[in-house]
Each structure stands twice: as structure tokens, then as C-alpha cells.
């Protein structure tokens, strides 16, 4: 199950007032650019354990179905704009990729010897997001694909269920291995599915890892290759497991840096020094993920919380910077930034 795909990305345009445009017309352009290359095999960077010569094969043989990012994006756009001009082509692309045969091969690959840590937790969490998106989509095709996906979905949840109790400490980096971000995606999936045991496991892990944390060193962020904020991601998962009153108090101890005035100066957007560099391009994604995490934090605070204005101003600044950087000019960011932009603009992680 590979996470890379060559996606040409929609240019989001900021209006004069600073609000981002994301309507059916924008979604149509984005979907058509993605569909032009959603089945393009190369370039392709995979993390692949070779157990024998049999494992030497092209990506189309090893993991024939995915990019997870790309297919989640298509499903999300179809659910958001079901009657858009791109809908028919997007559905055909999903049917072509997510066949029962392809997904059985993906599940077999995941369960292969020496692959216990494959795509864990980031890719597995995004896979569960895809399952959740399909489960919420009231459409015959979604039900068919979800049935095809079940062996892989079960394998992913089984892998995470066995791993989380053994994880002794959270991983606090700003890239794929980060624990907090993965837990947030897993928790949204588990609740959407009504999976109480998995919900409890993930919630308990979040509390175990983060409940006692204080004074997160936000000034140390970002590291030069971050696309996730360690501090904000931790707050974003904790707002999912604490009551409103508990979270407001916890946040005061955890991020005392948040001002009570309408200022965005306490956390400024970042600029990638080279969007064509596959690692340095991560900083463009950091602005997008910071924006949705800040919006998630706001959603969990009381209406009269004095920190809301500062959080809103900072979220808006990051949204503008992040969306302006999604140009599709470079593959290094283009193959994943689109999914981050759609996650943000459709408010996927915020309960309605």
C-alpha cells in the first residue's frame, strides 16, 4: 500500500478578504487534474522489505490499488460535490483501482513477513480514513468498494490494535511516525464506525501519552522537514477525548503561549525554501495541517474562551499561506498537498 501518487494539484485562490475559495468549480478542476495521473505508476518511492527474489516486482504488482491520499481525496470530493462534472470519471477511477482482487493483494502485502511496521501509523490511519469516508457515503458504489476494502481495513485495524498497547512512549516528531496525528485519524474512524473497543483503545492511549503534558515547547517548532506540528497535533487529539471544560483547562497548561488578544504573532506561517525538494516541501503542508488543527482546537473551546480570537487569527494566516502554496508546480509537494488542502477546506476532522 503505497502513499505516493503523481497528482497535479489545484491552485486555491484567496479572495480579497482572505477567505479561501473552494466550490464546485474549484473541486472540478482539482479532480480532473488528479484523474489525469491517478493511475500513473512512476515516479514511485516505496519502503519495501525484500524476503526473496519473488519480492522484486514493480509497484503495480506489489501494491496495485493505492495511493491512499489520492483515493481518499476522490471519495471526499465525490461526497462533497456528488453532481459535479468530474463525478462520473472519479467513480470510474475508484472502480478501476479498488477492486476485490487488488485489495486482497494489498492485504496480503501488508501481512507479509518483515512488514510489521509498514506504513505505521500514518498510512494505516489514512487507510482507515478512506474506509470511514466510504462508510459515510450513502451510495451503492461506496458500499461495493467498502466490501472490497474490508480485508485490508481489517488487516490495518488488527495491526494497530496489536501495536498500540506495546507502544511505550509517543513519537513526537513532525513527520509520518508522529503518534498524535495518527491517533486523531484513528479515533475519528473508530467513532464513525461505532467500534467501541477500538475507540476505547485509542482514547486510552491518548490519555496515557498526553494527559499530564505541560508547557509544550512551541518555540522549537518547526523542524526543517515538518509537515505536522507536534504541539498542535497533540492538542488536536486531546480535544477529541476530553470534555469541553477539561480540554480548556488542559490547553491552558499545555500551551500557555496562546494569547487572549486577537493576535497571530504568537505562531507565524512558514515558507518552504525550496518547494521542489521532497523534504523541504513538507513546510508547505505544515501550514495546512496547522490550520486545520487550530480550527479543531477552536471547535472544542467554550464560546466565551478568550483564546478563540488569537487561535482564529492564526488559523486564518496559516490557511492563506498553505493554500497559496498548493500550485502543482512540483511533484514533490503535488502528490500529497492536495489531500491536505481538501481535508482543511472541507473540515473533515471537525464533528458537525
Q: How many CB atoms lie within 10 A of CB 173?
A: 14
The model's pLDDT over 208-235, given as tens digits with 9 standing for 90+, comes to: 999 999 999 999 999 999 999 999 999 9
- Residue 8: pLDDT over 50: no
Average confidence score pLDDT of the chain: 88
**pLDDT value for 11:** 33
- Residue 10: pLDDT over 50: no
The model's pLDDT over 230-250, given as tens digits with 9 standing for 90+, comes to: 999 999 999 999 999 999 999
**pLDDT value for 32:** 72
**pLDDT value for 12:** 36
CA distances from 33 to 6, 89, 90, 297, 338 (A): 10, 11, 11, 32, 11
Q: Are 73 and 338 in contact (CB under 8 A)?
A: yes
The model's confidence at residue 18, banded by pLDDT at 50, 70 and 90, is: very low
pTM of the full structure: 0.90
Amino acid at each position: 500500500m503505497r502513499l505516493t501518487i503523481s497528482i497535479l494539484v489545484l491552485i486555491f485562490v484567496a479572495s480579497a478578504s482572505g477567505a479561501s475559495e473552494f466550490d464546485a468549480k474549484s473541486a472540478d478542476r482539482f479532480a480532473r487534474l488528479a484523474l489525469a495521473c491517478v493511475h500513473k505508476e512512476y515516479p514511485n518511492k516505496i519502503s519495501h522489505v525484500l524476503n526473496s527474489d519473488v519480492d522484486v516486482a514493480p509497484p503495480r504488482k506489489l501494491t496495485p490499488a493505492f495511493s491512499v491520499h489520492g483515493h481518499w481525496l476522490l471519495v471526499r470530493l465525490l461526497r462533497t460535490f456528488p453532481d459535479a462534472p468530474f463525478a462520473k470519471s472519479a467513480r470510474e477511477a475508484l472502480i478501476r483501482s479498488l477492486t476485490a482482487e487488488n485489495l486482497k493483494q494489498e492485504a496480503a502485502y501488508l501481512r507479509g513477513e518483515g512488514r510489521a511496521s509498514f506504513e505505521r501509523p500514518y498510512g494505516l490511519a489514512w487507510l482507515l480514513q478512506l474506509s470511514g469516508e466510504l462508510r459515510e457515503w450513502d451510495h451503492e458504489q461506496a458500499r461495493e468498494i467498502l466490501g472490497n476494502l474490508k480485508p485490508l481495513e481489517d488487516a490495518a485495524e488488527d495491526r494497530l490494535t496489536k501495536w498500540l498497547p506495546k507502544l511505550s512512549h509517543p513519537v513526537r516528531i513532525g513527520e509520518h511516525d508522529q503518534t498524535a496525528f495518527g491517533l486523531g485519524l484513528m479515533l475519528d474512524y473508530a467513532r464513525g464506525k461505532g467500534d467501541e473497543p477500538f475507540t476505547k483503545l485509542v482514547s486510552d492511549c491518548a490519555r496515557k501519552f498526553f494527559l499530564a503534558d505541560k508547557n509544550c515547547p512551541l518555540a522549537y517548532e518547526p523542524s526543517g522537514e515538518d509537515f505536522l506540528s507536534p504541539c498542535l497535533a497533540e492538542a488536536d487529539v486531546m480535544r477529541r477525548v476530553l470534555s469541553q471544560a477539561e480540554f480548556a483547562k488542559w490547553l491552558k497548561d499545555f500551551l500557555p503561549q496562546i494569547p487572549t488578544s486577537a493576535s497571530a504573532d504568537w505562531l507565524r506561517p512558514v515558507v518552504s525554501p525550496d518547494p521542489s525538494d521532497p523534504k523541504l516541501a513538507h513546510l508547505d503542508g505544515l501550514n495546512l495541517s496547522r490550520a486545520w488543527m487550530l480550527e479543531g482546537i477552536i471547535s472544542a473551546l467554550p464560546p466565551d474562551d478568550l483564546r478563540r480570537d488569537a487561535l482564529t487569527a492564526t488559523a486564518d494566516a496559516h490557511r492563506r499561506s498553505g493554500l497559496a502554496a498548493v500550485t502543482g508546480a512540483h511533484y514533490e509537494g503535488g502528490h500529497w498537498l492536495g489531500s491536505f488542502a481538501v481535508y482543511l477546506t472541507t473540515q473533515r476532522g471537525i464533528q458537525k
